[in-house]
Chain A
Amino acid sequence: MAYVATRGGEKAIEQAERLFRQDLGTIDAARVETIQQTMPYLIDRVMGEASLYSEELAALALAQTGGELSEAVLVLRAWRTTQPRIAIARPVQQDEILTQRRISAAFKDIPGGQILGPTLDYSHRVLATDVLEGKPYAPPAVESAAKPAPATQPSLADWQREQGLLAPTGEAKVAPEDIPDLTREPLLFPASRAHRLQSLARAETGGVLALGYSAMRGYGNAHPTVNELRLGEAEVVVRHPRGTEFSAGRVRVSQAEVTSKEKGGFLDLGFAATFGWNEVKVIAAATLDLNSAEAPVGSPVHEEFYLYHTESVEASGFCIHFKLPHYVTFQSTLDAMRDAKAKKSAAEQKGAVERQTEPAE
């Protein structure tokens, strides 16, 4: 029975997990609440990648994984997939979003105006070391504008369509319940538009950034101009069985439209949207969307390439799986290599190898 004793896998994994959890200490509601309140952008990123909108659950996932992002996303996705789909929300229209921030780089001014909203874009990125010296940083109060910005903003793309700059959109012919759902069916190629945008919406931020950036730098065929970037809150409008529509709550959303050059008489438009406020992700994702139409197969801007390789849970899981033992596969490779070597040296020892000559020689 010594055979068994030398391994003891079950005990080892139990203790290894305990060690990890012991380092994190007791997780209570207060810790979860602190994370939720102090790290909104981290929560947003996790909610986007998990494709599950719940600030509280995202904070809990971060707490129990100690901020290991891919683990946090996996925990949330695994929970999400067990939940029933009880309703399908009405599509969100741009001019209905409660808009906190909305900018366009394509025009100096746009109908509805450029709304900067909350951003670090123009800040000096200086580490507030004073805080560590015992001087808490209290942000100065925001001075309200004389005239508050309207809660909703028109869609710039709609204006562009009226001007004949963008191709007209056909009326959606698909009933909401028939929109393909990436979480319930596999991604196949060529991907439906719904699948592509859903996949980008829950893609890993860093991955989308890396591939989107490669397109921006020149490995793509389109240099993006931000047509419209919008951060806001959207009502989740669902239908009661009695037929009345009502809002089940609001979700923070980001969306980006990027445009490049003329195609078929109209401006080409790339689009991306995600849960939470995550500007880098939606700009990079919209750039990938913009580039995909003419992307060469196998290039980083081809949809099969970027959708597969920015899938957070799949990519991280496969990467860490290489820690698993692979000694059977290795043994098999070793066997072929040794045999090939033995054959070669046997042939060399025999001296002159009988060469088969080509008929032409």
Chain B
Amino acid sequence: MSLSSLTKPWAATSYGFLDASAKRELRRKMLKAIAVPGCQMPYASREVPMARGWGTGGLQVTLTLVNPTSVVKVIDQGADDGVNAASIRRFISRVSGAGETWDTLAASIVQSRHRVPEEVMREDQILVLQVPNPEPLRGVEPNISIARQMHADADYGKLWLTLYEQIVRKGRIMQGAGYPSMVNGRHVMTPSPIPRWDVPKLNMAKHLTFLSAGREKRLFAVPPFTRVEPLVFSDRPYQVEHHADLTCRRSGVSGYFMNELPIDGGGSAFEVSDSNLGIKAIQQAEGAAVEIGKTWYRNGEFSA
């Protein structure tokens, strides 16, 4: 027996970049997050070769989940070829040997910034959402220690009050993306700045969702088949963006979340935000054998 037979050959970095101690800590926190849905778990959040605020939290979770048989899809604002999404996807596959894809149906891990894909995700898929600010109470309580106490007490009165004030002042709840939502009837979480359109997709979903904020060093999870209920008053129903009637000018699909593009001379054109859904629709129209999975919204109506 020699030292070399007991050890692995030297490598500049560990498999999946993060070393074993970092991954062990993350796995423990991820399991804890699953055990207490929606509750923010602090973790060390190691530095990664990417700037904080650029998906380092999502990246650490993905790097902990990934293995050589994984197939990874990374999107930013719904697009696979956004510059940062491309950079993250390239990094993940380089350090892990995982496959890359743009197709939601082919992915085993979907890391995303600000969108949930339009095609329904399955039990064998994991969604990793990048989170800039994990604290839904930040707007009403910037001090993290006090906010933590409020979560412990399930004291969400200030948050409800903010929503109520918006109705009084503006006639409706003005929250844009990142709509605060009650998870499993206990913890209010921010679903990350996904549009209101996407929040219902997390409710009683078949897939596991991790939400991870690298800069703020917090991660939380929505396990499969867990309730995610946006905070609404009983007489004021939850409103998603009015995108049901919009049509994508490139792919022709309609009834999905759209990007608005200002056009010369006034008015706007629209393009489907889930860019690969648009691409697949174009390919299908051109006669290619491409599969478009079942979507969460059908004819602009949510129907999971």
Please report A residues at the B interface, Cβ cutoff 8 Å: 1-4, 7-10, 12-13, 74-75, 77-78, 80-82, 84, 183-190, 297-298, 304, 308, 313-314, 316-321, 324-340, 343-344, 347
Q: Which residue of B lies closest to A336 (CB)?
A: B174
B38 within 8 A of A: no
Tell me if A317 and B172 are in contact (CB < 8 A).
Answer: no
The 9 tightest CB contacts between A and B, nearest first, are: A317-B52, A321-B53, A333-B176, A332-B176, A317-B51, A77-B47, A318-B53, A186-B42, A332-B177
Tell me if B259 and A317 are in contact (CB < 8 A).
Answer: no
Tell me if B174 and A3 are in contact (CB < 8 A).
Answer: no
Q: State the CA gap A347–B171 with chains docked (Å).
A: 10
Please name all residues of chain A whose beta carbon is closer than 8 Å to the beta carbon of B215 when the two chains form the complex.
Answer: 314, 317-318
Stretch at the interface among B14-22, B152-160, B292-300: B14-22
Tell me if B282 and A3 are in contact (CB < 8 A).
Answer: yes
Tell me if B115 and A321 are in contact (CB < 8 A).
Answer: no
Number of interface residues of B (CB under 8 A): 75
Q: State the CA gap A329–B14 with chains docked (Å).
A: 36
Tell me if B143 and A9 are in contact (CB < 8 A).
Answer: no
Supposing A4-B279, A332-B177, A339-B172 touch, asked if A81 and B46 sit within 8 A by C-beta, the answer is yes
B79 within 8 A of A: yes
Please name all residues of chain B whose beta carbon is closer than 8 Å to the beta carbon of A308 when the two chains form the complex.
Answer: 144
How far does the Cβ of B204 sit from chain A's closest Cβ, in whole Å? Answer: 23
Q: Which residue of B lies closest to A303 (CB)?
A: B145
Q: State the CA gap A147–B295 with chains docked (Å).
A: 84
Tell me if A316 and B81 are in contact (CB < 8 A).
Answer: no
Tell me if B76 and A186 are in contact (CB < 8 A).
Answer: no
Q: State the CA gap A75–B49 with chains docked (Å).
A: 7
Q: Which residue of B lies closest to A81 (CB)?
A: B46
B82 within 8 A of A: yes
Tell me if B259 and A327 are in contact (CB < 8 A).
Answer: yes
Please name all residues of chain B whose beta carbon is closer than 8 Å to the beta carbon of A297 when the two chains form the complex.
Answer: 143, 145-146
Beta-carbon contacts under 8 Å, B39-81 to A: 42-54, 56, 76-79, 81
Supposing A9-B86, A324-B84 touch, asked if A313 and B250 sit within 8 A by C-beta, the answer is no
Tell me if A343 and B46 are in contact (CB < 8 A).
Answer: no
| Contact among B76, B115, B243 with A324 in the assembled complex (CB-CB below 8 Å) | B76
Supposing A3-B279, A186-B42, A189-B144 touch, asked if A82 and B19 sit within 8 A by C-beta, the answer is yes
Please name all residues of chain A whose beta carbon is closer than 8 Å to the beta carbon of B79 when the two chains form the complex.
Answer: 7, 9
Supposing A10-B86, A313-B47 touch, asked if A334 and B260 sit within 8 A by C-beta, the answer is yes
Please name all residues of chain A whose beta carbon is closer than 8 Å to the beta carbon of B283 when the two chains form the complex.
Answer: 1
Tell me if A80 and B47 are in contact (CB < 8 A).
Answer: yes
Tell me if A74 and B143 are in contact (CB < 8 A).
Answer: no
Q: Which of B53, B195, B279 has the most CB of A within 10 A?
A: B53
Tell me if B132 and A186 are in contact (CB < 8 A).
Answer: no
Tell me if B77 and A343 are in contact (CB < 8 A).
Answer: no
How far does the Cβ of B156 sit from chain A's closest Cβ, in whole Å? Answer: 20
Please name all residues of chain B whose beta carbon is closer than 8 Å to the beta carbon of A304 when the two chains form the complex.
Answer: 143-145
Please name all residues of chain B whose beta carbon is closer than 8 Å to the beta carbon of A7 when the two chains form the complex.
Answer: 79, 81-82
